[in-house]
Chain A
Amino acid sequence: MLAAQYPVLPVIVPLLSAPIAALMPNRSLAWIMASLVSALVFATAVALTVIVSAQGMISYEVGGWPAPYGIEVRVDSFSVVMLLVISGASTLALISGKASIDAQIPSDRQPLFFAAWLLALAAYSGIAVAGDAFNIFVFMEISSLAGYVLIANGPDRRALPATFKYLVMGTIGASFYLIGVGLAYMMTGTLNIADLHARLGDVPYLRPILLSAAFVTIGLAVKAAVFPLHVWMPNAYARAPSAVAVFLSACSTKAAVYVMLRFDFMIFGGAFAHHDVQFSTVLMSLALLGMLIGSAVAIYERDVKRMLGYSSVGQIGYILLGASMISLGGVSAGVIHMFNHAMIKGGLFLAMGALVLRLGGGTLDDLKGAGRTMPWTMGAFVLLGLSLIGMPLTAGFISKWYLVQAALDLGTLGIVLIAAILISSLMAVVYIWRVVEVAYFQSPQAGASKHQEAPLMMLVPLWAVVLANVYFGLDPSIPVDLATNAANILLEHAK
């Protein structure tokens, strides 16, 4: 019965294949292995999505030890959204990344690079399916360590300070999280999320739990690059190898947001009075600031990858804004945007990978005239940019629609939120259009005459993402249904 083992496959398979990839004799074999494993995880994620949609939550007891004593793996609608994002991004990044990885990373180091990649994949999947707080910590650490290795392989030495900044801030975040989990464990004696939720009701003295909630939320906010704790992120994306930027931009911050929502809704939400008010006041203000300031900074950024990083600060704001409304509509909108934004931003970084490969750099100056020399890549960039702005016919529009609709239920406050959403969208028009104008209206730099279109292996995954964007913009029922289920699960526990 393989089907019964599906919930652990996304973790076990990449984890076990990582050392094998490290031992591969040459770079192509390691790449093939990593791509196949990643595709297998994606297939498993799709299978799990089908099963969860039909039957509801799956609980898997590792080694047959029952929860809460054994390790529990739990897969619900929220987990499968994450799994789809993680494995989809990893697979597309690997397939499209072959050429750019070969260009940016020395051959002898590549098997180790792919081993680190598979570890990151295993760890992110682990975060998505883990049923207890400590395993989440372990996976978070694996994902971060693997992530540092991946980013440090960036094409020039600026990757090292970027990694160091990420490492310091990531460690602070993880420590905060661990302190918070420790406090909760001290008061309840359990680490299983469902069990924590059940037992917190019996804790007589709640002050440590309040502290625990603060530590966990802030620690995860660092990892999620929530404004103003985002400073590690734009450089980490910009200096990393192009393929890594695709993978991490789609799932590193989202994994942290995912854990944050799990904790704040499923554990702390029902535990003490006013948690929802505190959570929503703090996060909503941070989300608003992130949306406005992140997008504003993006406008002035001349390095397009850093620009996309700051844009992500704003987009994380959208996700948190939805979550901080603590309504079915709001939380679903947040989860929908997690899915859509991963698709959009991952796609934009795919396009950047192709542009950097051919043009040698990712600043606005490098992109001059790219609209003429690389029409397919830039065409995809423009369409994904329109999705980021929220144009109809694209997935980004669906996100905005649900977010604004949820905000409308909040009365006067809602109008302020809608204004912020719209202003931030208009700023997205500005920063995307700067790239468009440079690429289509300026002539290529002198000496950069012999540019050509990106290889087919990059264009196919890129356009697959573009088409997925259009598809989910026209028929959003899959993400919307999953997100609504996820929001129901989260809110049910918060009551």
Chain B
Amino acid sequence: MTGFDSHGMLLGMILLIPLLGAVLVGMASRWPNLRETGSVLAALALTFAVWSLLPGALAGERPELVLFEILPNVPFAFKAEPLGLLFAALASLLWVVSTIYSMGYMRGNNEAHQTRFFMLFAVALFAAMGVAFSANLLTLFIFYEVLTVSTYPLVTHKGDEASMRAGRVYFGILIGASIGLFLPAIIWTYALTGTLDFVPGGILEGHLAGPAVGLMLGLYVYGAAKAAVMPLHRWLPAAMVAPTPVSALLHAVAVVKAGVFTIVKIIIYVFGVDFLFATPSSGWLVPVAAFTVIMASLIALRQTNLKRLLAYSTISQLSYIVLATAILAPLSQVGAALHIAAHGFGKITLFFAAGSIYTASKKTDITQMNGIGLRMPLTMGAFAIGALSMIGVPPMAGFVSKWYMLGGALQTENYLAIGTIILSTVLNAAYFLPILYRAFFLTENVAPPREHGEANWPIRLALGTTALLTIAFFVFNGPVVDLEMQLVETLL
């Protein structure tokens, strides 16, 4: 292992920037405008730092930063590889947008404890960057837990009885799974192989065989409960008590994607796709993920609270990613990676729209939203773009990733996966299209407490940006596909 070069230093900067941002926000707590400027600057600096790694990564560079050894042969180390880079690039870019959005939302709704909110947001991003760039399982686990702990006060931001209960579910499931399943799996892996490094092709082959492989996979998939594979999904709807910017960036992008990212990364770099493919005991994951995709969509159909509907839609979409990686075809791995980004753009737009409606009209239920598209055309237009992306209609981001997932499923002739993707497309349409119909074609049934148009400008700016990004990802996905193809180039 090498020490660090200039790009390695950049990795260190990427971790430091959000932490510094948190400190700055804390120091500027008395001057809200300065404080939010600090947040935006930190987010921009982070985005710049992460994105400047992309050209090198496309050329095949893999910068590393090795700090010190925590356990024998397990250093505290970071490495930029295509999957993590994609996740980091996505999270950092969307952090910029959501900081602007949060500014509008938190002020528009007169939320309390705004300094704490922005500080913890920065800490959560620090944790997400750590997860994205970890070079081994232990480093990943450390940041994974920092992410859980730092988001707990964000979920329970309101501080009332309901948020305390929701926080219990959130923390209980995430920590319980980490300690009860994830940690034993990591220690088991270490005991078997003596290493925890992420190595292309995996480290477990030759150390583990038979049903034990399926068991280990189970420990990892459910241990990374942030991926919300059923039955460990309850924390995500519970987390919806949080202010909407938290639901948008953390519970549609940073936290949940950290979960599926971890699973994809473990399948590619710890098990190895070929090894899992050759081991029948790992086959349970496809039906379980397929079940989650369908079941969560069915539950979403019955929701009337918009944010809860979006949460169940997220559960369904996350299992798409798990399903794609579990198909174990090279193309579907690319599809899984792309869907991390594609779903991120679409879902954050949907949440931004939900928050925009709440800020302007205090409405949270779908049944109250008749005719709201006429009052808030920009918001509902963005909502439509996000919804179409979830369904997978071109020219939206969701189409691109679905294309690769289906491609992978066809490669391996996995008809269960193909059927699931088709059926869930129908279901997605079944719960999103009625909302659009209500918003644009029905007349208002519930009078708002006061006359309102669109929400304030930071909210409009943010949701317009993410809606454009959703479309842009459809048009300009070439470099991303090239980058993620590197994940599987040894397999093709």
Residues of A within 8 A of B (CB): 386, 389-393, 400-401, 404-405, 408-409, 418, 422, 425-426, 429, 433, 437, 440-441, 474-477
The 6 A-B residue pairs whose C-beta atoms are closest, nearest first, are A392-B142, A441-B164, A408-B191, A404-B187, A422-B180, A392-B145
CB distance from B186 to the nearest CB of A (A): 9
Asked whether any CB of chain A lies closer than 8 Å to the CB of B161, the reply is yes
CB distance from A375 to the nearest CB of B (A): 10
CB distance from A483 to the nearest CB of B (A): 14
Of chain B, the residue at the smallest CB distance from A392 is B142
Residues of A within 8 A of B149 (CB): 386, 391
CB contact under 8 A between A475 and B187, given known A426-B180, A429-B175: no
CB distance from B216 to the nearest CB of A (A): 13
Beyond A389-B175, A422-B179, A474-B76, 4 extra complex contacts between A and B, CB < 8 Å: A390-B183, A393-B146, A441-B156, A441-B161
A392 touches B172 (CB 8 A): no
A476 touches B179 (CB 8 A): no
B171 touches A433 (CB 8 A): yes
Q: How far is the CA of A405 from the CA of B72 in the complex (A)?
A: 13
B159 touches A440 (CB 8 A): yes
A475 touches B68 (CB 8 A): yes
16 contacts between A and B (CB under 8 A): A390-B179, A390-B183, A393-B145, A401-B71, A404-B184, A405-B187, A405-B191, A418-B184, A422-B179, A426-B179, A437-B167, A440-B159, A441-B156, A441-B159, A441-B160, A477-B69
Of chain B, the residue at the smallest CB distance from A476 is B70
Of chain A, the residue at the smallest CB distance from B188 is A408
A425 touches B179 (CB 8 A): yes
Residues of A within 8 A of B172 (CB): 429, 433
Residues of A within 8 A of B76 (CB): 474
CB distance from A470 to the nearest CB of B (A): 11
CB contact under 8 A between A408 and B187, given known A392-B142, A392-B145: yes
Residues of B within 8 A of A386 (CB): 149
Q: How far is the CA of A426 from the CA of B175 in the complex (A)?
A: 8
CB distance from B455 to the nearest CB of A (A): 29
Contacts of B175-219 to chain A: CB distance below 8 A: 175-176, 179-180, 183-184, 187-188, 190-191
Q: How far is the CA of A437 from the CA of B76 in the complex (A)?
A: 32
Of chain A, the residue at the smallest CB distance from B186 is A401
CB distance from A432 to the nearest CB of B (A): 10
Residues of B within 8 A of A437 (CB): 164, 167-168
Residues of A within 8 A of B163 (CB): 441
Asked whether any CB of chain A lies closer than 8 Å to the CB of B432, the reply is no
Within 8 Å by CB of A404, from B153, B160, B176, B183, lies: B183
CB distance from B207 to the nearest CB of A (A): 13
Within 8 Å by CB of A392, from B141, B167, B180, lies: B141
Of chain B, the residue at the smallest CB distance from A430 is B172
- Total interface residues on B, CB under 8 Å, equals 32
Q: How far is the CA of A476 from the CA of B141 in the complex (A)?
A: 17
Residues of A within 8 A of B184 (CB): 404, 418, 422
SS of A interface (majority): helix
CB distance from A288 to the nearest CB of B (A): 17
Residues of B within 8 A of A (CB): 68-71, 76, 138, 141-142, 145-146, 149, 153, 156, 159-161, 163-164, 167-168, 171-172, 175-176, 179-180, 183-184, 187-188, 190-191
Within 8 Å by CB of A429, from B68, B161, B176, B190, lies: B176
Residues of A within 8 A of B183 (CB): 390, 400, 404, 422
CB distance from A398 to the nearest CB of B (A): 8
Of chain A, the residue at the smallest CB distance from B175 is A429
Of chain B, the residue at the smallest CB distance from A382 is B149
Residues of B within 8 A of A405 (CB): 187, 190-191
Of chain B, the residue at the smallest CB distance from A428 is B179
CB distance from A390 to the nearest CB of B (A): 7
CB distance from A406 to the nearest CB of B (A): 10
B159 touches A433 (CB 8 A): no
CB distance from A81 to the nearest CB of B (A): 19
Within 8 Å by CB of B179, from A389, A393, A408, A441, lies: A389
CB distance from B241 to the nearest CB of A (A): 12
Of chain A, the residue at the smallest CB distance from B187 is A404
Q: How far is the CA of A404 from the CA of B68 in the complex (A)?
A: 23
Of chain B, the residue at the smallest CB distance from A423 is B180
Residues of B within 8 A of A409 (CB): 191
B175 touches A474 (CB 8 A): no
Q: How far is the CA of A429 from the CA of B149 in the complex (A)?
A: 12
Residues of B within 8 A of A440 (CB): 153, 156, 159
Residues of B within 8 A of A418 (CB): 184
A474 touches B168 (CB 8 A): no
Q: How far is the CA of A408 from the CA of B159 in the complex (A)?
A: 41
Q: How far is the CA of A441 from the CA of B164 in the complex (A)?
A: 7
Residues of B within 8 A of A474 (CB): 68, 70, 76
Residues of B within 8 A of A391 (CB): 145, 149
Of chain B, the residue at the smallest CB distance from A329 is B191
Q: How far is the CA of A335 from the CA of B239 in the complex (A)?
A: 40
CB distance from A334 to the nearest CB of B (A): 17
Q: How far is the CA of A400 from the CA of B187 in the complex (A)?
A: 10
Q: How far is the CA of A426 from the CA of B179 in the complex (A)?
A: 7
Q: How far is the CA of A477 from the CA of B71 in the complex (A)?
A: 8
Q: How far is the CA of A401 from the CA of B190 in the complex (A)?
A: 10
Of chain B, the residue at the smallest CB distance from A433 is B171
CB distance from A294 to the nearest CB of B (A): 18
CB distance from A185 to the nearest CB of B (A): 43
Which interface residue of B141, B161, B167, B191 has the most chain A CB atoms within 10 A?
B191
Q: How far is the CA of A475 from the CA of B142 in the complex (A)?
A: 13
Q: How far is the CA of A390 from the CA of B164 in the complex (A)?
A: 23
Of chain A, the residue at the smallest CB distance from B140 is A392
Of chain B, the residue at the smallest CB distance from A401 is B187
Residues of A within 8 A of B141 (CB): 392
CB distance from A337 to the nearest CB of B (A): 16
Residues of B within 8 A of A389 (CB): 175, 179
A393 touches B142 (CB 8 A): yes
Within 8 Å by CB of A426, from B142, B145, B146, B176, lies: B176
Q: How far is the CA of A401 from the CA of B188 in the complex (A)?
A: 10
Q: How far is the CA of A236 from the CA of B55 in the complex (A)?
A: 64
Residues of A within 8 A of B176 (CB): 426, 429
CB distance from A480 to the nearest CB of B (A): 9
Residues of B within 8 A of A404 (CB): 183-184, 187
Q: How far is the CA of A389 from the CA of B171 in the complex (A)?
A: 13
Q: How far is the CA of A441 from the CA of B152 in the complex (A)?
A: 13
Q: How far is the CA of A490 from the CA of B84 in the complex (A)?
A: 46
Of chain A, the residue at the smallest CB distance from B153 is A440
CB distance from B141 to the nearest CB of A (A): 6
Q: How far is the CA of A391 from the CA of B171 in the complex (A)?
A: 13
Q: How far is the CA of A46 from the CA of B301 in the complex (A)?
A: 65
Residues of A within 8 A of B146 (CB): 393
Q: How far is the CA of A437 from the CA of B165 in the complex (A)?
A: 9
Q: How far is the CA of A418 from the CA of B180 in the complex (A)?
A: 9
Residues of A within 8 A of B138 (CB): 392
CB distance from B116 to the nearest CB of A (A): 10
Residues of A within 8 A of B70 (CB): 474-476
CB distance from A343 to the nearest CB of B (A): 17
Of chain A, the residue at the smallest CB distance from B190 is A405
CB distance from A336 to the nearest CB of B (A): 12
CB distance from B257 to the nearest CB of A (A): 20
Q: How far is the CA of A391 from the CA of B183 in the complex (A)?
A: 10
Q: How far is the CA of A422 from the CA of B71 in the complex (A)?
A: 20
Q: How far is the CA of A389 from the CA of B180 in the complex (A)?
A: 12
Q: How far is the CA of A400 from the CA of B188 in the complex (A)?
A: 13
CB distance from A59 to the nearest CB of B (A): 31
Residues of A within 8 A of B179 (CB): 389-390, 422, 425-426, 429
Of chain B, the residue at the smallest CB distance from A408 is B191
Residues of B within 8 A of A426 (CB): 175-176, 179-180
Of chain B, the residue at the smallest CB distance from A418 is B184
